[in-house]
Amino acid sequence: MFPASVFKLNNGLTLIHQEIPTTPVVVADVWVRAGAKLEPEPWFGMAHFLEHMIFKGTATLPAGLFDQKIENWGGVTNAATSHDYAHYSLTTAALHLEDTLPYLGELLLNAAIPDDEFIRERDVVLEEIRQAHDNPDWIGFHALIASVYQHYPYGRSVLGSEQELMQQSPEIMRCFHRTHYQPENMTVVIVGGIAEESALKLVSRTFVDFAERCCDCPQTKEVAKPVIAGIRRQELDLPRLEQARLLMAWIGPGVEQLNSCYGLDLLSVLLAEGRTSRLVRDLREEQQLVQGICSHFSLQGDSSLFTITAWLDPANVERVESLICLHLNNLIFNGISKQELIRCQRLLCNDFAFSTETPNQLAGLYGYYNTIAQAELAVTYPSQIQSYSAKQLQELVQEYLSPNHYAVTVVKPC
């Protein structure tokens, strides 16, 4: 049973509320379907840049005043952008929510995006891009997803590029904002020490005067879902690098096949989480061919990503890639044991329990699921994980983790 209440306001905005009477804290999360995948060409990087500019004030709220007010009341704010969403979070004492949330609402609904602040903040984002390009793990991963997704939006960096940002203007950012920061694209999540009636009244008062919708924003181009045929390989040589990186990726389903996504979570744990997982035990503990190895399944709205990453000596790259493919073949033909399945289910269910203990965690979970799918699905995760059989996991490997169809990026010292 879903423990929170879900309301659809008259303007189309969704409110999710859960009271936790024992805590004096309240978390207010605002999730907006305004991620990087909605950026029309050539506005790439716009969603993330806009996240920065949201905090630069409105016609009635000078830049910096929001931060000052939140700090004075002992609150904390944060923000993030992905391909699927933009996310804004406010944590404060319950008695101060009525004083602070209206400021966040004003910024989100009526961002002024001043010309002078736009120029200054663009330099901040450009520096963020330059720092990312100094990180070999970031370079390797983004080269990998560009190879996997190619022309699909998930293949672009959320940050955009220096060239793309220099082509943008305050006018087109205001257009992007007024197009996507509209009530039907927003989910507000309130979790903590505030009663339902109070939360509903506060959100209804705060998220009401949205900016006039822009009708001139270009549409994103329709692009076919990505498919990897054969082995898609690339190699990068980077200076000042001591260890090589081996990155392998497979395309998974989106949220329309959520149960399959949960199974791929289990396979990620099976392969490379913990010393007894197959790849860690074989390649790191026993053969000592890698310094580290991990596997990760990244759930995305349209087309998810399954990755295996190893840090290793350049001389071992080819052998390790071959051994990973042998492990996948073994899973395809021999499946997994009941004991392995139980271990993976226990780890994931424990992780879920540990990640739903605080108001921040709960607000994030509900908002994320409601943005890419449906909030109520958030709490079905443990039962879905427990329902998997060894045979079903074997079938998932056969369908999604072929050793003959994947993308691989190797990053080596030059």
CA 166 to chain centre: 25
Contact 8, 181 (CB under 8 A): no
Choose among 373, 244, 259: nearest CA to 315. 244
Alpha helix (H) residue ranges in 335-389: 338-354, 359-372, 381-386
Q: How far apart are CA 238 and CA 314, in angstroms?
A: 12
User: Which residues are within 8 A (CB) of 409 and not within 5 positions of it... i.e. 6 or more apart?
Assistant: 140, 143, 144, 147, 233, 234, 235, 236, 245, 247, 249
* pLDDT value at residue 219: 85
Q: Residue 215's pLDDT is what?
A: 77
Number of domains composing the chain: 2
Structural domain that includes position 274? 231-413
Do strands 186-192 and 14-19 pair parallel, antiparallel, or not at all (unpaired)? Answer: parallel
The distance between the two most distant Cα atoms of the chain, rounded to a whole number of Å, is: 65
| Judgement on whether residues 286 and 252 belong to the same structural domain of the protein | yes
Domain presence at residue 327? yes
The three-state secondary structure class of 291 is coil
Does 263 reside within a domain? yes
- Same-domain check for residues 202 and 56: yes
Place of tokens 């659809």: 8
Q: Is 187 in a helix, a strand, or coil? A: strand
pLDDT of residue 88: 98
Q: Is residue 399 part of a domain?
A: yes
In the numeric block, the tokens 């149960």 are attached to: 259
One domain for residues 160 and 294: no
Helices 170-180 and 46-53 pack at an angle, to 10 degrees, of: 90
**Rounded alpha-carbon distances, angstroms, from residue 96 to 70, 76, 230:** 9, 12, 57
Do 191 and 303 share a domain, yes or no? no
Tokens standing for residue 45? 């990087």
Same domain, 300 and 152: no
Region of residue 335 (phi > 0: left; psi between -120 and 50: alpha; otherwise: beta): left
The answer to the question of residue 226 being in a domain is no
Q: Is 211 contained in some domain? A: no
| CATH number (domain holding residue 327) | 3.30.830.10
- Domain-embedded: residue 37: yes
**Are residues 381 and 265 part of one domain?**
yes
Q: Are residues 177 and 318 in the same domain?
A: no
Chosen domain end from 172, 189, 206: 206
Residue 393 lies in a domain: yes
Residues 130 and 171 in one domain: yes
Residues 65 and 145 in one domain: yes
Residues 16 and 141 in one domain: yes
**Residue type for position 264:** L
Q: What is the CA radius of gyration of the chain?
A: 23
Q: Report, as ranges of residue numbers, the positions in the chain whose pLDDT lies below 50.
A: none
113: left (phi over 0), alpha (psi -120 to 50) or beta: left
Q: Are residues 251 and 391 in the same domain?
A: yes
The pLDDT, as a whole number, for residue 77 is 96
Do 9 and 142 fall within a single domain? yes
What pLDDT score was predicted for residue 217?
85
Q: Which two tokens stand for residue 405?
A: 């169809």
- Contact between 107 and 58 under an 8 Å Cβ cutoff? The reply is yes
Domain boundary among 206, 222, 256: 206
